Amino acid sequence: MVKLLIIADDFTGALDTSIQFAKRGAVVEVHTEKDVEYEKLSPDVNVVVIDSETRHVSADEAYKVVYQIVDRALKQNIPFIYKKTDSVLRGNIGAELTALCDRSGGRVHFVPAYPDMGRTTNNGIQYVDGVPVARSVFGEDPFDPVLTSNIPELIKNSSDVNVMLISKDDVVGEDKHNGIYIYDAETDKDLLDIAYKLNADHELVTCAGCAGFADALAEMLHIGGSKGSLPVFPEKLFVVCGSVNPVTVRQLDVAEEAGVMRIRLNSTMMLDEKWSTTADAEEKIKYWVSVMQEEGNIILDVNSKYTHNASGEKINPDDRSIVSGNLGRIVKEVIDVESDAMFMLTGGDTLLGAMEALSVYSLRPITELIAGVVAFKFSYLGKDIYCISKSGGFGKENLILELCQILKQGDEKSPEAISDEVLMKI
């Protein structure tokens, strides 16, 4: 029985939020189709996650999509709805929270902090590692720059709903008005305190935030059963990076400096929709797979050493869907040649492109290998394919090296047991 619906505006966000419930034993399904047929789901599914793909559409379109998803969920009597938002405030946050507020006819409690990733909220201002988000690298995003760090201001730019700011010392009174309540938080304890108070007041019905508060919400709701054993993941790592975020670019640089082969895709590979079916593609894909089989790891990347792609120019935002579609087709061709690998797909567009190319519309998260880095699986031609998802802005600079070591060691050590000294020897 479905007890919780999570609505995420991109694919990686859907995964890093849903894993907070899966790792506690909940049976979670992530869907790329918005009109989920709930009555056809397996009865053991506790949590449904829908990737609404509304981050890059207009505010009006985002409102309509989220409103309709919420409407269907309420008609199915799903008791809890969580609107997943980006931890650095990208996307149509105001419009989407307003849609949830309008259709539910009540209050939306918005807790945007994610302390484990350095995202904190103080006096309604969102910070990344102590810097207001609009002044961080996310203010320079080539596709979706964050223009304000002020959350109430951000919401009011696209909504006329009531907005209330709740500081850590504030108490929401009994005379609650409908609208969006924004909560300050700077630590995991703050998140748990907020979840505890909302639970005591029966106010967890419609909440919003990123994976940080989802973790606290999972702690309160106790959805699911016992944890199952983890599968044995493939040791080889095939990274396909469609993100141009500087955080991810640095992670790729560090991996390359440590000896991981990095292939920079040229403009033909990224923008020619027929390239993946050519003889040139067949030859290159066989070569890339052979490198992975011999070396253990390989990176395919849309970034060059000096610009955002190997053609010497920045990727045009209008070409986003073409690039992600081509990356998806490349992933499919690689899997058709060699499926016994762990595929790391960086960037929500890249992940969605791969799912579409493979005609896969649902998947199941397995575990969180590192904070914000999710392992999941899906079925393709009767075989389980294992993948890793990561948002472009998540993780330390040695993240790819750490993942390589985790996969090599398997169950011998937990991710926490891997020391910096070991990583330096990779």
Q: Are 313 and 375 part of one and the same domain?
A: yes
Would residue 203 count as lying in a domain?
yes
Q: Name the phi and psi angles at 364, rounded to 5.
A: -125, 120
CATH of residue 143: 3.40.50.10840
> In sequence order, what E strands does 316-357 have?
342-346
Token pair in block for residue 305: 């050493």
| DSSP strand pairing (297-301 vs 342-346) | unpaired
Q: Are 181 and 247 part of one and the same domain?
A: no
Rounded distance between C-alpha atoms, residue 253 and residue 93, angstroms: 32
Q: Which residues of the chain have pLDDT under 70?
A: 171-175, 228, 304-318, 411-426
pLDDT digits (tens, 9 = 90+) for 212-255: 999 999 999 998 777 767 889 999 999 999 988 889 999 999 99
Would residue 228 count as lying in a domain?
no
The residue among 163, 195, 221 that closes a domain is 221
Give buried/exposed letters for 275-301 (b at 16+ CB in 10 A, else e).
Answer: bbeeeebeebbeebbeebeeebbbbbb
Would residue 64 count as lying in a domain?
yes
CATH of residue 406: 3.40.980.20
pLDDT at residue 412, as a whole number: 44
Would residue 226 count as lying in a domain?
no
Q: Are 274 and 195 part of one and the same domain?
A: no
pLDDT at residue 93, as a whole number: 97
Q: Are 309 and 358 part of one and the same domain?
A: yes
pLDDT at residue 175, as a whole number: 61
Q: Are 323 and 414 part of one and the same domain?
A: yes
Give pairs for 214-219: CB < 8 Å, separation 24+. 214/6, 214/17, 214/18, 214/20, 214/21, 214/82, 214/84, 215/20, 215/188, 215/191, 216/111, 216/188, 216/191, 216/192, 217/20, 217/82, 218/20, 218/21, 218/24, 218/26, 219/24, 219/192, 219/195
Token pair in block for residue 340: 């016994």
Number of domains the chain is built from: 2
pLDDT digits (tens, 9 = 90+) for 303-325: 865 344 444 445 565 677 889 99
Q: Are 119 and 161 part of one and the same domain?
A: yes
Q: Are 198 and 331 part of one and the same domain?
A: no
Would residue 231 count as lying in a domain?
no
What's the domain range around 155? 4-221
Rounded distance between C-alpha atoms, residue 85 and residue 183, angstroms: 14
Would residue 387 count as lying in a domain?
yes
Would residue 175 count as lying in a domain?
yes
Residue 75 exposed, middle or buried by CB count within 10 Å (0-12, 13-18, 19+)? exposed
pLDDT at residue 253, as a whole number: 95
pLDDT at residue 320, as a whole number: 78
pLDDT at residue 171, as a whole number: 62
How much is the pTM? 0.84
pLDDT at residue 374, as a whole number: 92
pLDDT at residue 142, as a whole number: 72
pLDDT at residue 141, as a whole number: 77
For 214, 245, 247, 382, 410, the CA distances from 399, given in Å and listed in that order, are 23, 14, 10, 31, 16
Rounded distance between C-alpha atoms, residue 90 and residue 97, angstroms: 13
Q: Are 43 and 191 part of one and the same domain?
A: yes
pLDDT digits (tens, 9 = 90+) for 161-216: 999 999 987 766 556 789 999 999 999 999 999 999 999 999 999 999 999 999 99
Length of the chain: 426
Rounded distance between C-alpha atoms, residue 54 and residue 349, angstroms: 12
Q: Name the phi and psi angles at 112, rounded to 5.
A: -85, -5
Rounded distance between C-alpha atoms, residue 55 and residue 378, angstroms: 24
Q: Are 160 and 254 part of one and the same domain?
A: no
Q: Are 382 and 306 part of one and the same domain?
A: yes
CB 351 within 8 A of CB 389: yes
Q: Are 55 and 186 part of one and the same domain?
A: yes
Q: Are 286 and 351 part of one and the same domain?
A: yes
